[in-house]
Homo-oligomer: A and B are copies of this chain.
């Protein structure tokens, strides 16, 4: 019933994560009713990103410049490198502004099931960055999944011959976590890594 243009926009929006057909229709209605304050700014922003989109050839981040804003930020510490599976992980860590160093995006995780091998990930380029020197610490920030941890082990083996400190994210109770509701794996990790009370 709606025009093909409006239908196409509804469909394009409904494919975004977090938006279904219903909320996409609501969003389209909002856009067409608020042309100046909603539709035009979104169009401009989308167009600018589309024109400048680039994958950083140093770290694998997606940004509007190459090298990306993180790799060129002079306030960041060159001596710390945080390795993550996906761009989403980099963004999540960076959003919290907790890590002051540089990043390296692998582009996935090793997986026998999905046939993902070391050559499919940006591991050689990671080893290259470490081998080039100037890095004191490599933080392996893989997901706490079997595949994530397998990937971390593999990378640790590849890197251990270089004079860098290798660390990984702590495992244990999440903030606000209640013992009663946590899985046994997390409880086991938390117990094994228990610390003296300060």
Contact = CB atoms under 8 A, between A and B. Distances in A.
Interface of A: 1-3, 5-6, 8-9, 11-13, 15-19, 23, 25-33, 35, 38-50, 52-53, 62-65, 68-70, 87-88, 91, 94-95, 97
Copies of chain A in the complex: 2
A16 B88 CA distance: 22
B19 A18 contact: yes
B64 A5 contact: yes
Contacts of A40: 50
Contacts of A3: 52, 63-65, 68-69
A25 B91 contact: yes
B39 A43 contact: no
